[in-house]
Structure 1
Amino acid sequence: MKTLFVAPTRNGVGLTSTALGLARALERQGLKVAFLKPIAQTHERATDDSVHFARTLAHADAPEPIPLADAEEQLSQGGEEDLMENVIALARQAAAGGTGAADVLVAEGLALNERNVYAGALNASLARNLEADVVLVSSLAGVEPAALADELEIAAQAYRRSDGSGLAGYVLNFAPLNLDFGGLLAELRARSRVLAGGELPLLGVVAQSPALSAPRTLDVARHLKAVVLNEGEATLRRVTSTVVTARTVPRMAHLFGPGALVVTPGDREDVVMAAALAHLSGVPLAGLLFTSGSSPEESIERLSRAALTSTLPVLRTETNSYETASRLSRMDPRVPHDDLERMERILDFVADRLDTVPLGTRLRSPDAQGERRLPPSAFRYELIQKARAANKRIVLPEGDEPRTVRAAVRCLEKGIARPVLLAKPDRVRQVAEGQGLTLPDGLELLDPDAIRSHYVEPMVELRKSKGLTAPQAEAQLEDSVVLGTMMLALGEVDGLVSGAVHTTANTVRPALQLIKTAPGVRLVSSIFFMLLPEQVLVYGDAAINPNPNAEELADIAIQSADSAKAFGITPRIAMLSYSTGESGAGKDVEKVRVATGLVRERRPDLPVDGPLQYDAASVLSVGRQKAPNSPVAGRATVFIFPDLNTGNTTYKAVQRSAGVVAIGPMLQGLRKPVNDLSRGALVDDIVYTIALTAIQATQGSTA
């Protein structure tokens, strides 16, 4: 196992986000990564920030760090060696984890500040005792290139081992958006031997991102100790700007945009009513904050009640507007422990901008079976990369649905796909404006009324065996899902994603009628990609077939295994039942037993076993006990449920109870890719489903 020690060159460089972002970037390369914060950053009794986010977001079994007070006491009494022994014990605990040995251990050093003058030397000692290679973290904020080069050179000398090794690379954070990267790199190399010689490679430059620094309205309320008059969406809305009302409304109304926190005395009736109108017009303000302990007059409050008691957060503080604004400017930049959504976005942002290639193949350590491990972050990363490479045109029939609009914008901006929104363009623009979105150039908006007539004749031709007439076709094409399916059938788009507001039947029925199954395929089935903390599993069928017979169950298993392999998951198929092996009898168990035999007969290349109980399939110790000779037990990656009742119930129980992301259902067996969404789908769910669909479109058929 290799250890990487992430160390700052000075104060305020973004140490925690870089350390956890590096861990995520390495996981995307298929490595099993452990995390360690050897010594707590502060004297606070609460869990260290880094450890908290490593556990909640990276699902790492990170041990509690040594309390800072204990470390300082040991150092003050000359007990550094004892301290380092404790650190090494923690490192071994972290590397072993609860799920087997790690390939890489990422250890985060102490951030530097005015109080812990010892931290620089202590970090160097920690890196040396952990036998770690060091990743230096610096910042481009408020520093000239010459000073930065000297800073990196000095830090490199402090961490370089006597044999010249010990340096893994460096990361530069908070880069200005207009950075002359080439000029900066040339100047740094001109002034630093360690940079010029390639001994300290650049691993990434992370730009400033105001959006990622935006606190929630709830965080503002906590910081100001404000009275919450109306909570609304205080846990969801973020403050991207502060509007302190010193001028008349006409001169500042343009500032009342998405994410604006309006700070005003309660007796500014014009401001209160303007904010209420903005909210009722669909502008997602961050909130309304009354200063000086004031509130609006009763008559104004009554007129504005619809806004002041809705989703708009309304706060009150005792300080005046000037002092309140001053206090807001001094908010703690740290991400609160309960703001997981913000930290998740920060880690993805950092990981996207890190290049782990310079770290070399020395970090890789395949498991005993030689199979590549695919954790959720690696699965999501590769999903997006493959979708980008596919560059497919995907139609979204629910084109004016707010989540769908946001997902389409994100997909286009990230190059995941070329989405086509089927909806009235004016309606799409209205929905986007209400969410504070700017529709990017190149986003296709197709008015169904303007194109519907083009598909009547082709649809009649496709359904002529069923006696479909032109008037009937025109009536069916009023349904945007049918219209989008016709676009796919004619090859005008590469895939279709629907279901945010339509039922599964509404999405699947037109596909079966117009797209039909792939050659040689007898049924359409579905899978979910279950993003468990340690790995991605495949569940099938949990959405389409109510009670498949043995033949159909075997087909589902083979389809699901092939899909798993196509998406980088080594298939090991568990045919699930309420009993394992020969322990049970009955027609339900016998169906699974027969289906298992059919899979072995048709695809001898696929590891499969059944009937297996879920715990025997998923837990190694149970599998060894209940099915000791099984090639699958305890290590299954593809779980085939005996019926829809079992599959759908299980996937939702795992998803909701364990907080697991479930991507899907992804349909299998169609001639062209059509995928359904849950009506409770989040924007990210839609984005990943679009990516899945784009990748399926490269595979010829979805069988």
Structure 2
Amino acid sequence: MTRSVYVTGIDRGDGRQVVELGVMELLTRQVDRVGVFRPLVHDGPDRLFELLRARYRLSQDPATVNGLHYEEASALQAERGTDELVSALVDRFHTVARDYEVVLVLGSDFADTQVPDELSLNARLANEFGASVIPVVGGRRQSAESVRAEARNAFRAYDGLGCDVLAMVVNRVAGEDRDGIAERLGSRLPVPCYVLPDDSALSAPTVAQIAQVLGARVVLGDDSGLARDALDFVFGGAMLPNLLKALTPGCVVVTPGDRADLVVGSLAAHSAGNPPIAGVLLTLNEVPGDEILTLADRLAPGTPVLAVTGNSFTTASRLFTLEGKLNASTPRKAERALGLFERYVDTAELLKRVSAPSSDRLTPMMFEHQLLEQARTDRRRVVLPEGTEERVLHAAEVLLRRDVCDLTLLGPVDQIRKKAADLGIDLGGSELIDPAGSELREAFAEKYAKLRAHRGVTVEVAYDVVADVNYFGTLMVEEGLADGMVSGSVHSTAATIRPAFEIIKTRPDAKIVSSVFFMCLADKVLVYGDCAVNPAPDAEQLADIALQSATTARQFGVEPRVAMLSYSTGTSGSGADVDKVREATELVRLRAPELKIEGPIPYDAAVEPTVAATKLPGSEVAGQASVLIFPDLNTGNNTYKAVQRSAGAIAVGPVLQGLRKPVNDLSRGALVQDIVNTVAITAIQAQSPHEKAPAQ
């Protein structure tokens, strides 16, 4: 029977979307096919489902998601009774349930409905669906005692109606009350109770949402600027010095359109990062002249300037009733919501209680979830030398919001802050260092000169070398100021990894540095090595690559079954190329007799069971290989690219292996998610530090 989780509430305004998103994240970590069902809906688009569909790549037909509109449900209940209403909704639920391993049910929202006793109806539906329940209680603007009482009453209500209550969630409580509420409820309820503090950024509308609600005209700004959260509103009517004192981070400045001085002054403050604002809203349908707008655009490119027809008072009245919503157009807000959920919910405990059937498949999304969760369990610091690169900044924001690891960004600090402000990115909690002016530069120069003295490097020469962001970042890793480094989005592979070869060097048990790609196919993850570093490894090096790759695979949850690839099968072929692979296979068997390995073996026999049954019957690896070792770089690099482009696989890497401390290279075409995954991998590698090599 399909396992279902029903997220519901007791009243409106509980911010339940954060919990629904968080539970979906948990479910998709465990199974591949998750369905969504909302029994009762309002007219208009279902923005949360659109977010879930976009974020989790759901293939579910939107027409199957919804049960009945509230008006239909109310009429059916009035005319034919609650049993008929429930029966109709159960039928529609099972239409979804039969196609999915797990169904997430989104309970009614208690907003502007004519359905009597919604709580009892949600409880009845959960029972009829065979779903376990997670009730959510809202605590905004309530005392700690009131919140505790509501949570206890909500549990009693759903439990008393026969529901299987998995856990309680109390959301949007005052930050100063969170710990006390959690402690008291933890001892008063028989199920886990997770308490989430109120996060103003989640309820803050984006600038784009403001523009939509007010019917504002976008005078200046780009999509990134419009995606910023409006955390505050500052109304400008005073002289510029007084306005500047009133500005707050993330505010929208509301001012009459004829006050060009306030427009320019606000944007200049943003450009200086003192403070970064969300945008400017002009009232009275007045817009400054072209000269002022050109200056404004140069001061803060991308920062939105909106214009509305109303005056400041009517505009303010509408602004203060706005509340931000999670939807497909607010992916950064979704990252923040997930970060909040994962910080205050014991996700391992909740996932165990959900006890959804584990899938034998490992999909790309499940692998990505696994990376972030594994990195989060033992938090590490990763240094990102390319601190002014836009993709790196967006990735840093995701990593910080998801609480994956600590970050150090390198580059001119003012430039990093300005770029982040222009993109509306909050780097709070990250460390920013300019290598050129850092107090560490002199000590790093002495360290590097000592390491490279045999090459004639002096302290004076080293002083210039260590100002390079990749050398500086590598020295931070070497000196224990960071646990790993990721670079390469704008630097070549050589510029990224040469400092690691010179400074960090190889582990005592590794003969060479090599690499793997995690190839995320539709239903599994394969490990390819070496596709990026060693052009023509000999038999001993190839054996080392195989052993390193098996260790890396195991570290990331892929059970290693190693295929040493060749055009020949077993003993059927001969020649230097085949002999090298055969010799490497025997060396691996000698060094790691417990490791499942087959070689030489062609690719098709390694991964396709029907071919394996013909060519290598009875093999423990053939047909089910998970680690594929290519005989040379030419073969490996072309194969991974062919699979990536032709099969639509996600290639995560290259992940370097064999170094004493982790340094990883990015493709210069890396997407934001690629950077996030690589940083998570680097943090995980740093969780299992290897013995340092002897000083040389």
Asked if structure 1 preserves the Cα contact closer than 8 Å seen for 2:231 and 2:251, the reply is yes
Comparing 228-237 and 638-647, the one that deviates more: 638-647
- Is 1:13 aligned to 2:4, yes or no? no
Could you say which residue in structure 2 is the equivalent of 1:58? Answer: 56
Give, in angstroms, the shift of residue 59 of structure 1: 3.9
Could you say which residue in structure 1 is the equivalent of 2:532? Answer: 543
Change (3 A) 1:236 1:634: farther
Identity %: 36
Of the three residues 222, 241, 244, the one matched with 2:232 is: 241
Give me the TM-score of the superposition, normalised by structure 2: 0.79
Secondary structure at the aligned position of 1:380 is classed as helix
Give, in angstroms, the shift of residue 18 of structure 1: 1.0
Change (3 A) 1:614 1:110: farther
- Is 1:333 aligned to 2:324, yes or no? yes
Of the three residues 205, 208, 223, the one matched with 2:195 is: 205
String of CA shifts for 1:33-62, please: whole Å, max 9, x gaps: 734324252233x4x334333332234555
Asked if structure 1 preserves the Cα contact closer than 8 Å seen for 2:408 and 2:430, the reply is no
Change (3 A) 1:654 1:369: closer
String of CA shifts for 1:296-335, please: whole Å, max 9, x gaps: 2455446556458x42323322223322232333335332
Could you say which residue in structure 1 is the equivalent of 2:470? Answer: 481
Could you say which residue in structure 1 is the equivalent of 2:506? Answer: 517
Q: Counterparts of 1:326 and 1:115 in 2: how far apart (Å)?
A: 25
Asked if structure 2 preserves the Cα contact closer than 8 Å seen for 1:226 and 1:315, the reply is yes
Of the three residues 77, 85, 102, the one matched with 1:80 is: 85
- Is 1:228 aligned to 2:226, yes or no? no
Could you say which residue in structure 2 is the equivalent of 1:121? Answer: 120
Give, in angstroms, the shift of residue 124 of structure 1: 1.7
Secondary structure at the aligned position of 1:134 is classed as strand
Asked if structure 2 preserves the Cα contact closer than 8 Å seen for 1:22 and 1:351, the reply is no
Give, in angstroms, the shift of residue 622 of structure 1: 9.7
Of the three residues 242, 245, 248, the one matched with 1:251 is: 242
Asked if structure 2 preserves the Cα contact closer than 8 Å seen for 1:420 and 1:445, the reply is no
Q: Counterparts of 1:443 and 1:300 in 2: how far apart (Å)?
A: 33
Comparing 505-514 and 688-697, the one that deviates more: 688-697
Could you say which residue in structure 2 is the equivalent of 1:90? Answer: 95
Could you say which residue in structure 2 is the equivalent of 1:99? Answer: none
String of CA shifts for 1:347-397, please: whole Å, max 9, x gaps: 3322332125665856447759799996422321111212x2xx56x6555
Query: What letter is aligned with 1:517?
Result: T
Give, in angstroms, the shift of residue 687 of structure 1: 6.3
Could you say which residue in structure 1 is the equivalent of 2:345? Answer: 354
Could you say which residue in structure 2 is the equivalent of 1:39? Answer: 39
1:120-519 aligned at under 5 Å gives the runs 120-144=119-143, 148=147, 151-152=150-151, 155-160=154-159, 166-179=164-177, 181-182=179-180, 186=184, 196=188, 198-199=189-190, 201-232=191-222, 233-256=224-247, 258-278=249-269, 280-281=271-272, 284-298=276-290, 300-301=292-293, 304=296, 306-307=298-299, 310-331=301-322, 333-356=324-347, 361=352, 363-364=354-355, 375-386=367-378, 388=379, 450-454=439-443, 459=448, 462-463=451-452, 465-466=454-455, 473=462, 476-486=465-475, 494-519=483-508
Change (3 A) 1:359 1:458: closer
Query: What letter is aligned with 1:20?
Result: L
Give, in angstroms, the shift of residue 254 of structure 1: 3.2
Unaligned runs of 5+ in 1: 97-101, 190-194
Q: Counterparts of 1:515 and 1:49 in 2: how far apart (Å)?
A: 49
Secondary structure at the aligned position of 2:39 is classed as coil
Q: Counterparts of 2:578 and 2:276 in 1: how far apart (Å)?
A: 54
- Report how many aligned residue pairs link the two structures: 678
Give, in angstroms, the shift of residue 83 of structure 1: 1.6
Asked if structure 1 preserves the Cα contact closer than 8 Å seen for 2:255 and 2:283, the reply is yes
String of CA shifts for 1:156-197, please: whole Å, max 9, x gaps: 4553378x66222210010111116436764x69xxxxx83x
Unaligned runs of 5+ in 2: none
Secondary structure at the aligned position of 2:558 is classed as coil
Give, in angstroms, the shift of residue 202 of structure 1: 3.4
Give, in angstroms, the shift of residue 295 of structure 1: 2.0
Change (3 A) 1:117 1:609: farther
Change (3 A) 1:202 1:544: same
Asked if structure 1 preserves the Cα contact closer than 8 Å seen for 2:31 and 2:358, the reply is no
Change (3 A) 1:481 1:172: same
Secondary structure at the aligned position of 1:39 is classed as strand
String of CA shifts for 1:94-135, please: whole Å, max 9, x gaps: 533xxxxx5xx4332222223142433331221111222221
Of the three residues 672, 678, 689, the one matched with 1:699 is: 689
Change (3 A) 1:404 1:332: closer
Comparing 674-683 and 168-177, the one that deviates more: 674-683
Comparing 503-512 and 467-476, the one that deviates more: 467-476
String of CA shifts for 1:188-211, please: whole Å, max 9, x gaps: 69xxxxx83x43x23311111112
Asked if structure 2 preserves the Cα contact closer than 8 Å seen for 1:572 and 1:636, the reply is yes
Query: What letter is aligned with 2:164?
Result: G
Secondary structure at the aligned position of 1:23 is classed as helix
Asked if structure 2 preserves the Cα contact closer than 8 Å seen for 1:580 and 1:616, the reply is no
Asked if structure 1 preserves the Cα contact closer than 8 Å seen for 2:278 and 2:304, the reply is yes
Give, in angstroms, the shift of residue 637 of structure 1: 4.5
Could you say which residue in structure 2 is the equivalent of 1:192? Answer: none
Give me the TM-score of the superposition, normalised by structure 1: 0.78
Asked if structure 1 preserves the Cα contact closer than 8 Å seen for 2:38 and 2:105, the reply is yes
- Is 1:667 aligned to 2:668, yes or no? no
String of CA shifts for 1:530-563, please: whole Å, max 9, x gaps: 6678766544334323455665444333312211
Q: Counterparts of 1:439 and 1:88 in 2: how far apart (Å)?
A: 43
Query: What letter is aligned with 2:55?
Result: L
Change (3 A) 1:270 1:359: closer
Q: Counterparts of 2:611 and 2:306 in 1: how far apart (Å)?
A: 54
Q: Counterparts of 1:483 and 1:583 in 2: how far apart (Å)?
A: 51
Change (3 A) 1:294 1:652: farther
Asked if structure 2 preserves the Cα contact closer than 8 Å seen for 1:216 and 1:234, the reply is no
